[in-house]
Amino acid sequence: MNSKEKALELMETYLDALSFINPSTECFSDAKALAVMCVDEIIDSHYKPIRGIKVNVNDYWHEVKNQLNKL
């Protein structure tokens, strides 16, 4: 799955969940914010607290975040 497809899949997942909770509300911006937060958590999970440095995080997740921000 490429980064654009993954970004759309995350958005769809959060849109479905948010619309299930409150079907009368336009949820696009909330779903986008949640998807970006999800990707940020994945990126941040690659932090090594013992050394205090970031490891080389897969560029894929950065590209997914870029694709989400384009939506």
Q: Which residues contact 27 (CB under 8 A, 6 or more apart)?
A: 14, 15, 18, 19
Q: What is the pLDDT of residue 43?
A: 86
Q: What is the pLDDT of residue 48?
A: 60
Q: What is the pLDDT of residue 31?
A: 92
- pLDDT tens figures, 20-63: 888 777 788 899 999 999 999 988 887 665 565 555 667 888 99
Q: Where are the domains of the chain?
A: 3-70
- Residue that the structure tokens 């654009």 belong to: 4
Q: What is the pTM of this model?
A: 0.81
Q: What is the pLDDT of residue 21?
A: 81
Angle (deg, nearest 10), helices 3-21 and 59-70: 60
